[in-house]
Structure formats: structure tokens, C-alpha cells
């Protein structure tokens, strides 16, 4: 009985520990604002997430069972947004003399990053990429090649590109040297809009022992099994206590009875 009781207690403890889902890191090195945006988006999809402060920023953690849904949910909306370098970061003085070619490459990169950051702040824009070609002379005596740019925007399916296309073209053309008159020139300025694929969540299944059950019901089944185990343990303890008490009471009852060597009174027959 004692061995059986130990087995029941071990199983009950393991089920209760299993009910506490393991927490895993989803993203780290985030700012407070980025972490809040991630948690808010996951909350809309009923995914529990929390922030953990760290030395290098904020860490967002979720339940291990939700990691797949969380990754696909954030990918569909472009979160967390990629960190982009500013002009100040790119041209920070480091005491190293750069060649004209390096300075030009850094300027083009910084200009593209600035434009991408601005475009990403438009409501409905998920990902923005800008490729810039500045005016340059290919060879001595050759005419100067005019500036050009191409813009790629991945947007929310609910956003109508026609509502922002004209503004995007004007903003990009006015931000790049030599492109002021290229607003309506598709050869010099190309803007491509691509709708993002919406994440359609299917019913999530989770393993409960050897069985697959709906993920939303896993907590109910764990709690039910844990409760049943606790009731069973209490019942076994009660039965064991009752049997031990009965075994202890039996010798007292036997000792209280008549001795077999005692004489029998004639009136007792």
C-alpha cells in the first residue's frame, strides 16, 4: 500500500509540474516600445507574452507551446521592426580617413535607411526597402548618369496602395538629389506595392500524454487530471488511515475479552 501511495504521489506531482508551461525567449535586445508593440500584437491573437528586463534590452518570453503561433503572427505584421542606421550613425567620426568611394557608399546606405524608416512609419506599411542610385559619371567625357530609385513596400492587405502611392513618390523624389523632376517618371522612380499574406490561424492541437487535444482545452485537462489525482491520493490516505486504526483497535478488543483459562460459572451455561 505504501509503495502504491508513493507512485500516486509521484504521478500527481509530475502532472502538476507539467501544468506549468515552460517559458522560452521569443525576442531579445528590444527597446521598451518595441517590446510593448510585440506584446500588444500577440495579445490580439490571445497569445500570452511578458517582458523580462536584461542588460542588453528587453526580452519577450512566451509559452513554449505558443512559440510557433507567435513567430508566424509577428512575421505577418513585420514586428519587431528592423533597426536602421541614421545619417548620424553612419557618418560618426571614428578617426579613420575614408576614400571618396567609401564616403559615397556610406551616404547612399544612410540615405536609403532614412527613407525606409520614414516609409515604415506610414500606417499599414509592414516592410519598406529603398534602393538609391546617385548621379555619377561613368567615364570621362561621358554624360552624367541621372539619379534613380526603386521602392518596395509590403503592406497590410487592408491598405489601398492608390491612397499613398502619389505621396510616396513625391517624398522619395524630393529626398534624393537630382530626382525632383522624376515624380511621374517610371523609368527613374519605381514603386512596387505587395500585399502581405494574412496569417490565418488554424485550430491549435497540443499533446496531452499520447493524445492530441485542442490547445485551448489543455489547461482544463491538466487541471482535471491534477484534481482527480489529488482526490485519489486523499482517498487512499483515508483508507490507509482507517485500516491502520482498525488494526490497532483489534488487539485491544481481543485483550478485553474473557480468558480461555477462566472457570465457567454454572449460570452462564
Structure confidence by residue, pLDDT tens digits, 109-157: 889 999 999 999 999 998 999 999 888 766 666 677 788 999 999 999 9
Q: Locate cell 548620424: which residue?
A: 88
Task: Report the candidate in 166, 158, 151 with the shortest Cα–Cα distance to residue 111.
Answer: 151
Contact between 47 and 200 (Cβ < 8 Å): no
Q: Is the pLDDT of residue 198 over 80?
A: no
Compute the half-sphere exposure of residue 180: CA atoms within 13 Å on the CB side of its CA. 2
Lowest mean pLDDT among 46-60, 180-194, 196-210: 196-210
Question: What value does the mean pLDDT take over residues 193-218?
Answer: 71
**Any idea which residue has 517582458 for its cell?**
51
Please work out, in degrees rounded to the nearest 5, the angle formed at the alpha carbon of residue 182 by the alpha carbons of 179 and 187.
115
Q: Specify the higher pLDDT residue, 171 or 142.
A: 171
- CA dihedral of 65, 37, 126, 157, whole degrees rounded to 10: 70
pLDDT in tens, 21-52: 578 889 988 989 888 989 998 888 888 899 98
In the chain, where are the structural domains located?
A: 108-195
Domain 108-195 in CATH 3.40.190.10? The answer is no
Where b means 16+ CB within 10 Å and e means fewer, 29-58 reads ebeeebbebbbebbeeeebebeeeeeeeeb
pTM: 0.57
Q: How confident is the model at residue 269 (pLDDT cuts 50, 70, 90)?
A: very low
Residue predicted with more confidence, 64 or 266 = 64
Question: Are 153 and 121 in contact, with CB atoms under 8 Å apart?
Answer: no
Nearest to 47 by CA among 24, 75, 73: 73
pLDDT above 60 (res 246):
yes
Q: Is the pLDDT score of 90 beyond 70?
A: no
Mean pLDDT over 176-188 rounds to: 88
Instruction: Answer with the residue of higher pLDDT: 215 or 228.
Output: 228
Amino acid at each position: 500500500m505504501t509503495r502504491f501511495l508513493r507512485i500516486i504521489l509521484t504521478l500527481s506531482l509530475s502532472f502538476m509540474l507539467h501544468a506549468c508551461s515552460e517559458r522560452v525567449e521569443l525576442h531579445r535586445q528590444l527597446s521598451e516600445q518595441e517590446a510593448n508593440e510585440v506584446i500588444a500584437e500577440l495579445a490580439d491573437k490571445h497569445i500570452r507574452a511578458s517582458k523580462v528586463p536584461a542588460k542588453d534590452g528587453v526580452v519577450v518570453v512566451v509559452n513554449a507551446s505558443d512559440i510557433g503561433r507567435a513567430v508566424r503572427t509577428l512575421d505577418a505584421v513585420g514586428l519587431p521592426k528592423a533597426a536602421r542606421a541614421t545619417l548620424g550613425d553612419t557618418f560618426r567620426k571614428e578617426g579613420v580617413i575614408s576614400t571618396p568611394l567609401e564616403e559615397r557608399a556610406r551616404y547612399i546606405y544612410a540615405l536609403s535607411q532614412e527613407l525606409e524608416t520614414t516609409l515604415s512609419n506610414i500606417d499599414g506599411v509592414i516592410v519598406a526597402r529603398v534602393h538609391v542610385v546617385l548621379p555619377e559619371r561613368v567615364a570621362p567625357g561621358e554624360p552624367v548618369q541621372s539619379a534613380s530609385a526603386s521602392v518596395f513596400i509590403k503592406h497590410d492587405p487592408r491598405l489601398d496602395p492608390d491612397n499613398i502611392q502619389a505621396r510616396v513618390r513625391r517624398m522619395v523624389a524630393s529626398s534624393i538629389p537630382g530626382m525632383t523632376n522624376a515624380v511621374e517618371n517610371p523609368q527613374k522612380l519605381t514603386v512596387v506595392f505587395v500585399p502581405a499574406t494574412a496569417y490565418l490561424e488554424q485550430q491549435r492541437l497540443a499533446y496531452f500524454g499520447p493524445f492530441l487535444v485542442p490547445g485551448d482545452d489543455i489547461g482544463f485537462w491538466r487541471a482535471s487530471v491534477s484534481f482527480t489525482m489529488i482526490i485519489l491520493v486523499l482517498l487512499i490516505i483515508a483508507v490507509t488511515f482507517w485500516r491502520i486504526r482498525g488494526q490497532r483497535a483489534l488487539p485491544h478488543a481481543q485483550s478485553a475479552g474473557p480468558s480461555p483459562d477462566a472457570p465457567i460459572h454454572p449460570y452462564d451455561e
